[in-house]
């Protein structure tokens, strides 16, 4: 199952029949025209990052910050303490058990 998944995923990256015996052993430039045509249509230059959203805004680039992590930790602590207080700690305010 894993080999099928990899083959299906990578199937679009490699052109079909790129190294058939007739293409490689023929020696003529005409048979390689389809391969050259395929590779000439590929994009050139550095890859463009397509990351967007929170990761692009806070963790990539010149505005990288750890603020979202700290806010998340603080929020979880505040919510957890509030729930703990409401469920258990407010009973200890006047009476000890």
* Residue spans of the chain under pLDDT 50: none
| Domain ranges for the chain | 1-45, 49-97
CA distances from 51 to 46, 55, 87 (A): 15, 7, 42
What integer pLDDT is reported at residue 12 of this predicted model? 66
Q: Whole-structure pTM over 0.85, yes or no?
A: no
What integer pLDDT is reported at residue 70 of this predicted model? 93
The Cα–Cα gap between 23 and 20 comes to 5
The Cα–Cα gap between 76 and 88 comes to 18
**Contact between 54 and 68 (Cβ < 8 Å):** yes
What integer pLDDT is reported at residue 65 of this predicted model? 85
What integer pLDDT is reported at residue 11 of this predicted model? 64
Tokens 């490699």 sit at which residue?
Answer: 14
């Amino acid at each position: 199952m894993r080999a099928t998944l990899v083959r299906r995923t990578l199937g679009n990256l490699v052109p079909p029949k790129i190294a058939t015996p007739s293409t490689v052993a023929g020696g003529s430039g005409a048979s390689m025209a389809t391969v050259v045509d395929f590779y000439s249509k590929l994009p050139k230059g550095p890859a463009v990052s397509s990351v967007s959203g929170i990761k692009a805004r806070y963790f990539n680039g010149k505005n990288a910050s750890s603020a979202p992590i700290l806010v998340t930790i603080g929020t979880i602590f505040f919510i957890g303490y509030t729930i703990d207080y409401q469920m258990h700690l407010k009973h200890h305010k006047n009476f000890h058990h």
